[in-house]
Amino acid sequence: MKPTLLASLAHAAIVPALLVMLAAMTVGAEPDSAPAAAGGEEKQQIDDRQVVVWAKKEVSINATADDEEDVAFRELWYSSFDGKDWGPWAKHGITFPKNTPITWAPSEGHWQIYLRKVHISGAANAVPTAGTPGMKEFIIDRTPPTVTIGFPLPKAKLRGGQKYIVKWEANDPHLKAAPITLLWSRDGKGTFETIADNLPNSGSYEWLVPRDMTITGQLQVLAVDKAGNVGSTIADSILVDSVNPHGKVVGPQISAKAEVMLALDIADVGPAGLATARLWVSQDDGTSWNEGPFIQEPFKSVAWKAPADGRFRLAVVATDQAGNVNALPKGKADDQFVLTIDTIPPSIQLGAAIGIVEASKTSSAKKSFTPGTRVAVPFTVKDANLAPNSVSIFLQTEPGKPWKELAKGQPTDAAYRFEIPTPAAATKTARIKVTAEDLAGNVGEVVSSETFEIDTGTKADVIDIK
C-alpha cells in the first residue's frame, strides 16, 4: 500500500506546479491565445477568437515552473483541427530532458499542444485525452495568398489623369484585416511606387492614373496574410497616354459636286494610336453642329454628301485607344475647315442679240460687218464664287463648224474687243459664244441668239449680152 500512497501524494503535488508552469509557458515568444475548449461545440469559439498564425518552419516551446528542479523530462503532445473538430492527441517521438529546448517542426495546419511533465520520482500529469484542453493553440501557414488582377489586364491602354477601378481577387484562409497594397511602375523595370497600402480585401480600388506616359507600365497587387506570407501578381506592358489626338479637314475648299471626298489630317502623338474618328458638320456657320460619317482607317479621307449648295464648317473628332478625345466643335474656331459646295455654273448674258456691237457704240442695230471692223462683245457674268479672269470668247462662222477661240483668261467685268477676221468665205451665219468658270470648276456659257454677217466684198457682175 505504501508505493500506491506515495504515488498518489506525488501526483497531488504535481498538479498545482503544472498549473504554474502552464501560466508561464510561451511558444515562439508570441502572445498567448485562448485555450481551446474540448468537444465538438467549440468550433464557433475557435472561429471567433484570434489565433496566432506563423510561417515558421520550427516552433520553439519554452516552459518554466516553480518545481523545475524536480523535472526529469517533458513530453510534447499535439492535436490538429480540421475545421470542425480536434483530432486525437499524438505524442512527439522525442522526449525533452530538463533544460533541453523543446522544438517541433509542424506541417501547415491548425494546432494545439500539450506538455506532459514527468518528475524524477516518476510522478507525471495525465496523458491528454479527447477532452483535454490544449495549453497553446496556433496556426502554421507557409503558403502565400493567391492574387489575380481583373483590371487592368496586361497590355491595357489607359488614359493618363483618368480614374479607373482596379479590380483584383486575393484568397487566403488567414488574410490580414487590411492585407492589400497596390504599386505602380512606369519604367517596367521593377521601380515601384505605392499607390495605396493597408487596403481591405474589397476587390476594387479607384485609381487616378498618373499623367506620365509609358508603354511599359506595371501594376502590382500584393496581399499579405497573418503569417507574413506575401502573394503578388503583376499586370505588365500597360500603356498610359495623356495626350489628345488631333484632326482636321484640309481640302478641298470648294466643290462643284454635292458628293465630295474630303482630305484629312488626323494624328495621335501619344503612344496609344487612333481608335476612331468622326466628321462633324455645321450648316449655320458654327451655331449648331451635327455628327457626320465615321472615318475609316487609315484616317486619310472621308466621303461626304452635302444636303445642298452652301457654305459648311467641318471639324474632326478623334479618339485614341486609351480614350483620349479632342474637344467637340462648338461655335466657330480656327481649327475648323470651311467648305463651299457650288453646283451651279455662272450665269452669262450678252449685251446684244448677235453678240457684238461696233466698238465705238454701246448699242447698234447693225448686223453686217466687214473684215477688220473693230467690234466689242458686251456681257455680264453672275456667280457667287466666280473665278477671276475666267472668260473665254469664241466665234463660229458657219453652223456645224468648230468654234474658234478668239481669247481666254479675260476679265469677267469688261467687254472684249476684237477686229472682225477675214473668213474663208463671206457668211451670214456668224455667231458669238462666251464662257465663264467659277471657283468650283462649273462652266457657264451663252451663245448669241441671232447671227450676223461678215461681208468680204462685192462680187463682179457677170454680163451676158444677147
* 405-434 pLDDT per residue, tens: 999 999 999 999 999 999 989 999 999 999
16-25, 184-193, 317-326: least confidently modelled range: 16-25
Residue 334 main-chain phi, psi, to 5 deg: -70, -25
Pick the more confident residue, 443 or 64: 443
Alpha-carbon torsion (224, 230, 231, 235), positive or negative: positive
Closest by alpha carbon to 108, among 172, 160, 50? 172
What Å distances lie between residue 297 and 245, 251, 281, CA to CA? 15, 18, 20
Instruction: State residue 4's pLDDT score.
Output: 37
Question: What is the distance between the alpha carbons of residues 245 and 251, in angstroms, rounded to a whole number?
Answer: 20
> Tell me, what's the pLDDT at 52?
95
CA distance 182 to 149: 11
What residue has cell string 521601380? 191
Mean pLDDT of 101-105: 94
Bridge partner list, 136:
113
pLDDT, tens digit (0-9, with 9 covering 90-100), for 226-253: 999 999 999 999 999 999 999 999 999 9
User: Burial, 135: exposed, middle or buried (Cβ in 10 Å; 0-12, 13-18, 19+)?
Assistant: buried
- Closest Cα to residue 69, out of 108, 26, 114, 99? 99
Amino acid at 464: D
Instruction: Using the structure block, give the residue that is written with the C-alpha cell 475648299.
Output: 253
Domains observed in the chain: 2-140 (2.60.40), 146-241 (2.60.40.10), 246-341 (2.60.40.650), 347-454 (2.60.40.10)
CB-facing half-sphere around the CA of 208: CA atoms within 13 A? 2
What is the pLDDT averaged over residues 294-321? 98
Closest CA to 226 of 278, 178, 289: 178
Grid cell at residue 244:
489628345
CA distance 203 to 206: 11
Q: How far apart are CA 372 and CA 366, in angstroms?
A: 15
pLDDT at 361: 78
Reported as a single tens digit per residue, the pLDDT across 111-164 is: 999 999 999 999 999 999 999 999 999 999 999 999 999 999 999 999 999 999
pLDDT, tens digit, for every residue of 269-293? 999 999 999 999 999 999 999 999 9
Mean pLDDT of the chain: 89
Task: Identify the three-state secondary structure at position 104.
Answer: strand
pLDDT digits (tens, 9 = 90+) for 69-90: 788 999 999 999 999 999 999 9
> Cα(345)–Cα(378) distance, rounded to whole angstroms?
19
Closest CA to 408 of 427, 387, 384, 382: 387
pLDDT (0 to 100) of residue 457: 81
Whether the per-residue pLDDT at 36 is higher than 80: the answer is no
Nine-digit cell at 99?
533544460
Which pLDDT score, from 0 to 100, does residue 34 have? Answer: 36
pLDDT band at 27 (very low <50, low <70, confident <90, very high): low
361 grid coordinates: 457704240
Q: Which residue has the cell 456645224?
A: 400
Of the segments 6-20, 44-58, 93-107, 354-368, which one has the largest average pLDDT value?
93-107
Average pLDDT value for residue range 96-117? 94
Residue 367's alpha-carbon distances to 326, 352, 415, 450, 452, in angstroms, are: 67, 10, 18, 9, 5
Cβ proximity of 302 and 290 under 8 Å: no
Percent of the chain as helix, strand, coil, to the nearest 5: 10, 45, 45
What is the model's pLDDT at position 210? Answer: 97
pLDDT score for 360: 84
**Is residue 19 scored above 70 in pLDDT?**
no
Model confidence pLDDT, tens digit, residues 350-409: 999 999 999 987 777 899 999 999 999 999 999 999 999 999 999 999 999 999 999 999
CA distance 293 to 297: 13
Q: What is the grid cell recorded at 154? A: 496586361
- pLDDT for 39 beyond 80: no
Q: Flag whether pLDDT at 31 surpasses 60.
A: no
Tell me, rounded to whole angstroms, the distance of Cα 1 from its chain centroid: 92
Mean pLDDT within 159-180: 97
Cα distances (angstroms) measured from residue 371 to each of 415, 419, 425, 457 = 20, 7, 11, 9
Percentage of the chain exceeding pLDDT 90:
81
Helix (H, G, I), strand (E, B) or coil at 92: strand
Average pLDDT over residues 101-112: 95
Average pLDDT over residues 173-193: 95
